[in-house]
Structure 1
Amino acid sequence: MSPIRASGVRAALRISRRNALRSRWRSTLILAMIGLPVALAVFALTALFPRPGSDRQHFPIGQADAVVTGAHEWAGLTQDAWGNGVPAQRVPAQPDSALRVPAQRDGARRPFTQAEVTALLAPGSRVIPVARGTFRYLTPQGYDTGEIRQVDLRDPMSRGTFRLTEGRLPATPGEAVVSAERLNRDDDPAVAPGVTLLVGEERRPVRVVGVALFAMAGIEPALVTFPGSLPADAFGPVDPELMSRAWLVDSPRPVTWADVRRFNARGLVVVSGAVIDRLPADESYARVSDLVRTVPWIAIMLLEVVLLAGPAFAVGRLRRSREFALVAVQGGSPAHLRTIALADGLLFGVAASALGAALGGVAARLATPLLEWRAGRLFGPFQVPWVAVTTVAVLGVVAGLLAALAPAVAAGRTDPVAVLSGRRERGRERGRERAGRPLLGIVLVVSGTAATIASAGHDIAWTATSALVTQLGLVALTPAIIAAAARLAARLPLPLRFAARDAVRNRGRTAPAVAAVMTAVVALVAVGVAGDSEIARRSAFGYTLAPAGTLQVSGPDLTPDLWDRVRSAVREELPARVPLIEARMLATGSGVPLNAFVVDVASGTSTVEWYDATGSGGLLVGDENLLRYVLRRDDPGAVAALHEGKLVVLNPDVIRQGQVRIGLSRVTGGEAPPPLTLPAAGVRATGQGWARAVISPEAAAENGYGTVTAMLVVDPADFRTPSATADRIAAKVERITGMATVRLETPEVPDDTLFLVVLSIAAAVLVLGMTSVATMLAAVEARPDLETMSAVGAAPRVKRAVVAGQALVIALLGSVTGVLAGLAPGIAAARRPVPYPTVFLRTDGVTTAVPADAPAIAIPWALIGLLVVGLPLLAALGGAAITRSRLPLPRRRAT
């Protein structure tokens, strides 16, 4: 760049800064239009995306130098820097290679003792034991299951792995802190500070003394106990994958990779902080992948900013037309005028992006404690992804320049004679503004729509990308759409006819406004269709596993005493002769519930898992009343099979040679009981029941298993429980325990009221805000025409009607086009794959993830009506209300 050119840019920036300070309201508006999306993107990238290393560790190291675990039988193992493992045949030699534990690790394991680990470390090293495992523990309101860690949180090595939020840290054996995630999950006082829990089958007492947030390391702990609260063997055998029994190491020197390999030779798995710190950013792929997935959303945001800020820059260009004319008559070239106009975009883009990035980063830092509390875990050290933040800021500057580009081109065409004499510029009188690029727009719309249809059932990022292509095509077609609408308005009343023709004559101002409204409406309609479809699907199929009218009280983790109290509370609200059906589930001799699954005898693998009664049904234990409820009819043959000790199965296809083999597992993990082979009878159900198989309590006892109550049921065939009665039962049960669920099965109507209210508020803010800016610009440019109307005797209300017509045209064109364009991506998003599909149980006991009569698509007609009818009319009324009705007389101009 030559010195003259550089000085010209500096002069243009000074002019832009002076005008920005002079028009503070317009400047603030532009800064908000560009800066707020930048701030939102930076906040999301900084606060919501995973922090590096936050989910890679088996056990959080904190301030320790390393965490180690191992057994003498593992001598000669190899590992990667994170302690991960692979099959034994892989023998890596680098820090990023994988763990190989010899085959004998699955036999007898002699774990290292604390003294042996200390002897292998550098002199002066210190170690403290840590352990983790899944336990079932008894609360005052029933049983619960979760991970329990055992470590001294007061030790400096634990610093950074937690943050105490309430109470104090454990100081003696028998004390623990509960995780905020566990406390927030159920929102009940069952594990609050001051409560004593009974942990494990031995029921060791543990008193909760505080609440803490913990760093994510696989599964967040429900409780963290002081060392000695639980015996070491209660955590199971030593395991390198789970770090079930390990030690934190405080070493006088860093634990190097050579030390790790030396420990591997002795049978120790080591995760060293010094080794991890020297690793390259192996999370970069995930970070780049996350950034790539956000590209379409950032591009849509950029497009919206350009279209939204464009009219605001056009207003500034129009108000500075006399300034541009004076520069032109003093020798300024069109290039100089364009540079002065583009300086606005550069100045506002840089200022808004810098302020937005700073605001987003500060907001993310301030919001981190609240987000951590809501998530129930620590996010790790606060880090700013500078590459992503810089990219977003640069995009903000680019958005400012692109928004100022069209006004800059118009400024370069300034007719100084017409402007200084107060006349309309000739180029504008002749309608020289182009009608867009219809051919390019048609190609983009067709290809984008086809890609959107093809993206149905795939990742949502593909749908967003294809929708972006469609929107770009519609932006290119917007001038042609405006021209077509003007031709259709030939027979409309004067205000609408004038507004339509004014929109055609000033496409450079109207097209960005219509396109901005259209882009916002496309996003709102797409979100509305996808969200409404999801609500309808959940409401129609998410909770319809029991017959309509059934009252269920479920809670497999309640104690017998609590069940007695719950049973009495339910009985008090029911008529005397109504049977209360009790469904039980298999359990160990100590009362630990067991999960059951069918085992394929030929392959030895499980085919269909049978969950407990609080899930999708399962192997239930009960009498003929339960069997009648499950089958939805009286069946003497099935009752006889039940009394004979047979397993009554709703899906006869799983029976092999008159028997069914059932695998069992503890809900708390650990060694599983041996498989159970039972004689079976297949009986087809005639209606929607709950279980897939029923066995009698006597048959369970004969096979050496106990039972625990899982659910109480009131069959609608016996008594159809009124809603008021169910509400009273629920209130009584809640006072007894918060770990029981009372449900009255009733047909549910999709309730999308809150969802539509939120979308409607967003639609009103976006559409009315964009329309207002464009309408103000149109009113300023139409001033000469309004003055002419006044001179020929137009009534005062004409100006209000004209401004209202301009607002109506802009809002109506943008809304109608946006609604039509938003249906395709909304439908495609609604058909995306569900990560965790709901399991549905047919009457024959067979499960399926997708019901045959699943709802197609739910269209939010109320939202569409608001967008197509309500908001355009509201925009027109708003434009008329804020416009002065008194028309100014035309000024006398020198000839």
Structure 2
Amino acid sequence: MTSPLQGWYHSWIAALRIARRDAWRAKGRSSLVLAMLALPIVGVSAADLTLRSAELSPEQTLTRMIGAADARVGHSHISGPINQNPDGTRSSPVGGYKDYDPSKFPREKPEPVGSALPPGTQVVKDSSGYTKVRTTHGLLETQLRELDTHSPLVKGMVTLDRGRLPKDPGEVIATRAFLKESGLFVGSSVTPRGAASPYKIVGAYELPDELGRPELIAPPGTLIDPLNKALVASGGRTLTPDEKYLVKVGGDAGVTWDAVKAANAKGLVVTSRAVVLDPPADSEIPLYRDEPKAMVERDGNKTVEMAILATVVGLAMLEICLLAGPAFAVGARRSRRQLGLVGANGGDRRHIRSIVLSGGLVLGAVAAVTGTVVGVLLTVVLRPVLEEGLGNRFGGFDLRPLELAGIALLAVITGLLAAIVPAVTASRQTVLASLTGRRGIRRANRVLPVLGLIAVAAGTAIALYGTTSKLGSTVVAGGSALAELGIVALTPILVGLFGRLGRWLPLSPRLALRDAVRNRGRTAPAVAAVLAAVAGTVAVATYQQSYDVQMRHEYQAELPHGTGVLETTENSAYKDVPALREALAKELPLARRADIDRLVVGKPGCESFSSDPGCGRAEVITPKEQRCPLYEDPKSSAAFSDAQRKELRQDWRCQEPRHGTQHSVVVGDEQVLGVLAVTDPGSVAALKAGQAVSFDKRQVKDGKLTLRIITEQGEDDIMRGHYDETPGEDKVLPVHLAPDSAESWGIELILPPSAAKAAGLVTAPVGSYFSLDGAPTSEQRQRMDGEIDRMGVEASLRIEAGYQGDNSLVMLALAVFAGLVTIGAAGIATGLAQADAEADLKTLAAVGAAPRVRRTLSGFQCGVVALMGVVLGSAAGILPAVGLRLTEQREADALYQESIAQGFSAMTEAVPFVPISVPWETLGGLVVVVPIGAALLAALVTRSSGALARRAAG
């Protein structure tokens, strides 16, 4: 006698065999289901392996930062004793910035680092500084570094790619990024600008954490020190290197937290291996007593990105269940005769359920194995591409079998969950209905729409509540997911509403729409799946565009976009300026150029050396009644209350102009206004008529401006900026005041050459403003810098490129993934519709429909599903993005209020700007391009002819 356990076992074995044979027999439908289940496993397993491999352990991070040393020590940029966080990335004066007075700590030569270390400590100096280096194209901004690469303490900080390490003076190694941009190679000679002799490149290396940094490394004392000596001899500007020290102390304890605090008392910042690996409690960190930890250790963007990532991944899994469910339902209907035979031969409902569930189990298991293997292989193959995109090397392949097994199990569970509803539905059919192929009458579920409305309302309320909750983004993500599930539950009703549009459509789209409405059990999940993918796309796009708008608002441009300025320094010969202007026109794609001069005050020779003794300057004097009271009071802003300071900062007298040029007073004509995009007709007419133009209304009174010619100025006056108290010759000039809407770009006054001559002022060429016809390439910039160096002129070249959006790799990948899955979901839904409606298509052929009708109908079926899903998903995706931005607004306001409480209001009153910007172009593209693309793709891959149906055997 067979036991119940054996009977259960044998029934499931039989069900698995039937499911396996049915999957093999229906290869097309099985491939669709397999692709749906395996796709997220490929992505999640590849993402898991990539993130685990790219996420370095603390030990690996320390090795790349400090090599094999116990700690890295450096002088702080803050004068006096400091407090720091455990890893040394944040520091502040003892007591915080509120009561910090730098004047109490005069900047003297800092005492040697060795004085703060115990005897017997090994020390390796790591010096670095930026300068320009001659290349095959011209000059390239490069970091120069002196480091003993042969020291055991440096092991792990640099990775030699080819060649050898430098050991003698005159030898350097270069990063691969430098060799790529400079056009040089191992064996070439390279010369930093101002160096007395060239250096030979003996090897190529890379910085594992900064693959794109151009850098040169030489043995200690052979690169920066000789370069500074050569620059001093030639009168050039020397480098001020950033000096760090790798230290190795005796014993196993390393550099303890007490030792770190002792070094902080001497103004040193320490990154200690022992402290980072075993950090002290927050109560033992003085920095957190001076400033709240939330202000010091902010990581809001990562939290938001993780919330968006979790939301999109959750919606993707929901999408798979929604799409795979109809696939199993279609499979069950196509196999209903086989299932009916099971019932006719004594099988009960549980056997039929087990057969359909076994289909989900079989396909889920195959998808789990396939997806995991493909994901791992994809990561291995794309590792170099991923590392270059991330800008750092992996620490190694961190393969975690338990995590990958859990991800693979997700495919099996998803397959089973997707097959539950079709299994229950198939088991409820009578044997007669299964054998005859009748579907019976199905009534719409009235409870589901009500639950959907409740879920939409509750989810929206929860998401909005999350914007005021301490949990923030977590609550917003949960509420958004609940609201989206509610929209999914409402999808059958919404599909029915879309069906009412069919009466105004031509034949093929009307047939497609009616088929979608008639088969809501197949259409609604497909629409919901597209909805989920589009909602993720819209959420990511809305958040990213809002963030870009915020960053663009906070970005302070120095010049109009695509505009540049070439200026010689105060100690450059003015006779070389015309040659510089010619080189500018030759090397860069100029669209327009406006030459400018500067005012010269003092003895002969001040045209070139304006900082020499005896050389003065011209200053615009602001009338006393038009000066800002905040800066006129001897006690400065401390003499006013917070309310008074806030009110005064709205006063027009306290609106500080931006600083974009080293010369606030320039001599030029109306061409300067054209390049700087100042279109005020009055200002242009004034310059043409020989009248000066002022951009600062504080300096203009009764249409006149006072220009003081200071020939003798004390050093104290220069440091304090009290030029109005320094005696000099005042020249009162009639001026035209530009409107407030005219952007000055740091210029206070433009003097036409005729006005300067009439006032008895001497001028000298200083440079040019220019606008470009297209962005310059790296080679063009290097050639221009090379021309400046060849002439031996000290000049600066700045080109305003505007705000450069920082679209992270994660955000871009999520958006692309969601867009592709949208089209894929619509295509899969169309394939299921064709499989389910094969009899209808054969009937169309039998009654004489043209062959193209089949292709057209298929395209419209796909387009209808995509259009409905895109419209609903666009509306659903706005909610999580808005919720996350409102959460960031609340956090920014709280931080702003905290900064005021800490006393930072004395420096700024900038109110946080956290906008919400809807990407209408993206939404328009989704609504128009995706449905049309999906429809055309489905029409192209559909056969226009099909075999006529044969009468089934009686």
Shorter-chain TM band: 0.5 to 0.7
Whichever residue aligns with residue 825 of structure 2, its letter is M
Corresponding position of 2:951: 890
Corresponding position of 2:151: 155
Whichever residue aligns with residue 448 of structure 2, its letter is R
Give the Cα separation in 2 of the matches to 1:640 and 1:847: 37
* Distance change >3 Å, CA 765–CA 730, structure 1 → 2: closer
Corresponding position of 1:255: 254
Whichever residue aligns with residue 159 of structure 2, its letter is R
Give the Cα separation in 2 of the matches to 1:229 and 1:197: 13
Give the Cα separation in 2 of the matches to 1:216 and 1:409: 55
SS at match of 1:153: coil
> Are 2:66 and 1:61 aligned?
yes
Cα RMSD, aligned residues only: 6.4
> Are 2:111 and 1:110 aligned?
yes
Whichever residue aligns with residue 567 of structure 1, its letter is R
Q: How does 1:406-421 map to 2 (within 5 A)?
A: 406-420=421-435
Q: In the alignment, which of 422, 432, 440 is matched to residue 429 of structure 1?
A: 440
> Are 2:313 and 1:313 aligned?
no
Q: Which runs of 5+ in 1 are unaligned?
A: 92-102, 122-126, 236-241, 591-597, 643-647, 661-672, 697-706, 716-720, 751-756, 838-845
State whether residues 652 and 683 of structure 1, in contact with CA within 8 Å, keep that contact through their aligned partners in structure 2. Answer: no
SS at match of 2:192: strand
* Distance change >3 Å, CA 587–CA 873, structure 1 → 2: farther
Give the Cα separation in 1 of the matches to 2:911 and 2:580: 33
Q: In the alignment, which of 649, 666, 670 is matched to residue 622 of structure 1?
A: 666
State whether residues 353 and 394 of structure 1, in contact with CA within 8 Å, keep that contact through their aligned partners in structure 2. Answer: yes
Normalising by structure 1, we get a TM-score of 0.68
- In the TM superposition, residue 479 of structure 1 has moved relative to its aligned partner by 1.5
Give the Cα separation in 1 of the matches to 2:552 and 2:270: 49
Corresponding position of 1:753: none
Q: Which moved more, 1:315-324 or 1:82-91?
A: 82-91
Q: In the alignment, which of 554, 564, 568 is matched to residue 582 of structure 2?
A: 568
SS at match of 1:31: helix
* Distance change >3 Å, CA 762–CA 106, structure 1 → 2: closer
SS at match of 2:768: strand
- In the TM superposition, residue 822 of structure 1 has moved relative to its aligned partner by 0.7
- In the TM superposition, residue 294 of structure 1 has moved relative to its aligned partner by 1.9
> Are 2:351 and 1:356 aligned?
no
Q: How does 1:803-882 map to 2 (within 5 A)?
A: 804-805=856-857, 808-809=860-861, 811-822=863-874, 825=877, 858-860=920-922, 863-864=925-926, 866-867=928-929, 870-871=932-933, 873-874=935-936, 877-878=939-940, 881-882=942-943
Give the Cα separation in 2 of the matches to 1:26 and 1:536: 45
Corresponding position of 1:473: 486
Identity level (%): 25
* Distance change >3 Å, CA 612–CA 775, structure 1 → 2: same
Q: How does 1:196-207 map to 2 (within 5 A)?
A: 196-198=190-192
- In the TM superposition, residue 296 of structure 1 has moved relative to its aligned partner by 0.4
Whichever residue aligns with residue 528 of structure 2, its letter is A
- In the TM superposition, residue 518 of structure 1 has moved relative to its aligned partner by 3.3
Q: In the alignment, which of 35, 41, 66 is matched to residue 38 of structure 2?
A: 35
Give the Cα separation in 1 of the matches to 2:766 and 2:14: 80
Q: In the alignment, which of 105, 125, 128 is matched to residue 130 of structure 1?
A: 125
Give the Cα separation in 1 of the matches to 2:749 and 2:63: 41
Give the Cα separation in 2 of the matches to 1:865 and 1:193: 57
SS at match of 1:890: coil
Q: How does 1:692-841 map to 2 (within 5 A)?
A: 692-693=747-748, 712-713=768-769, 735-737=783-785, 766=821, 769-785=824-840, 794-797=847-850, 801=853, 804-805=856-857, 808-809=860-861, 811-822=863-874, 825=877
CA displacement, residues 401-422 of structure 1 (integer Å, 9 cap, x when unaligned)? 33223322233224333333xx
Give the Cα separation in 1 of the matches to 2:93 and 2:356: 68
- In the TM superposition, residue 156 of structure 1 has moved relative to its aligned partner by 3.8
> Are 2:524 and 1:511 aligned?
yes
Give the Cα separation in 2 of the matches to 1:674 and 1:381: 54
Q: Which moved more, 1:869-878 or 1:401-410?
A: 869-878
Give the Cα separation in 1 of the matches to 2:124 and 2:150: 13
CA displacement, residues 139-166 of structure 1 (integer Å, 9 cap, x when unaligned)? 4677776654432223343232222345
Whichever residue aligns with residue 214 of structure 1, its letter is L
* Distance change >3 Å, CA 727–CA 690, structure 1 → 2: same
CA displacement, residues 598-623 of structure 1 (integer Å, 9 cap, x when unaligned)? 9956548999998875xxx6754632
State whether residues 38 and 353 of structure 1, in contact with CA within 8 Å, keep that contact through their aligned partners in structure 2. Answer: yes
> Are 2:378 and 1:325 aligned?
no
SS at match of 1:429: coil
CA displacement, residues 437-470 of structure 1 (integer Å, 9 cap, x when unaligned)? 2122233445556788999999999887665444
Corresponding position of 1:438: 449
Whichever residue aligns with residue 471 of structure 1, its letter is E
CA displacement, residues 509-541 of structure 1 (integer Å, 9 cap, x when unaligned)? 222222223334445566677788999999999
- In the TM superposition, residue 295 of structure 1 has moved relative to its aligned partner by 1.0
Corresponding position of 2:615: none
State whether residues 871 and 927 of structure 2, in contact with CA within 8 Å, keep that contact through their aligned partners in structure 1. Answer: no
Give the Cα separation in 2 of the matches to 1:460 and 1:559: 56
CA displacement, residues 485-528 of structure 1 (integer Å, 9 cap, x when unaligned)? 44554686776665545434432222222222333444556667
State whether residues 596 and 668 of structure 2, in contact with CA within 8 Å, keep that contact through their aligned partners in structure 1. Answer: no
Whichever residue aligns with residue 421 of structure 2, its letter is A
Corresponding position of 1:369: 384
CA displacement, residues 122-146 of structure 1 (integer Å, 9 cap, x when unaligned)? xxxxx35132444444546777766
State whether residues 545 and 689 of structure 1, in contact with CA within 8 Å, keep that contact through their aligned partners in structure 2. Answer: no
Q: Which moved more, 1:854-863 or 1:396-405?
A: 854-863
Give the Cα separation in 1 of the matches to 2:205 and 2:656: 35
Aligned residues: 793
CA displacement, residues 697-739 of structure 1 (integer Å, 9 cap, x when unaligned)? xxxxxxxxxx999862259xxxxx9x6xx89999987754489
Q: Which moved more, 1:279-288 or 1:350-359?
A: 279-288
CA displacement, residues 268-311 of structure 1 (integer Å, 9 cap, x when unaligned)? 97655466556699999999886444210111221222233333
Q: Which runs of 5+ in 2 are unaligned?
A: 97-103, 229-240, 283-296, 600-607, 613-627, 639-648, 709-717, 725-729, 752-762, 789-795, 806-811, 893-907
Give the Cα separation in 2 of the matches to 1:875 and 1:52: 46
SS at match of 1:32: helix
* Distance change >3 Å, CA 568–CA 485, structure 1 → 2: closer
Give the Cα separation in 1 of the matches to 2:252 and 2:92: 32
SS at match of 2:364: helix
Whichever residue aligns with residue 650 of structure 1, its letter is D
> Are 2:165 and 1:169 aligned?
yes
Whichever residue aligns with residue 871 of structure 2, its letter is V
CA displacement, residues 383-440 of structure 1 (integer Å, 9 cap, x when unaligned)? 35778756654544443333223322233224333333xx223xx2212464772122
SS at match of 2:66: coil
State whether residues 546 and 690 of structure 1, in contact with CA within 8 Å, keep that contact through their aligned partners in structure 2. Answer: yes
* Distance change >3 Å, CA 304–CA 176, structure 1 → 2: farther
Q: How does 1:512-551 map to 2 (within 5 A)?
A: 512-523=525-536
Give the Cα separation in 1 of the matches to 2:226 and 2:946: 87
Q: Which moved more, 1:633-642 or 1:27-36?
A: 633-642
Give the Cα separation in 2 of the matches to 1:537 and 1:858: 17
Q: Which moved more, 1:139-148 or 1:390-399?
A: 139-148
State whether residues 695 and 747 of structure 2, in contact with CA within 8 Å, keep that contact through their aligned partners in structure 1. Answer: yes
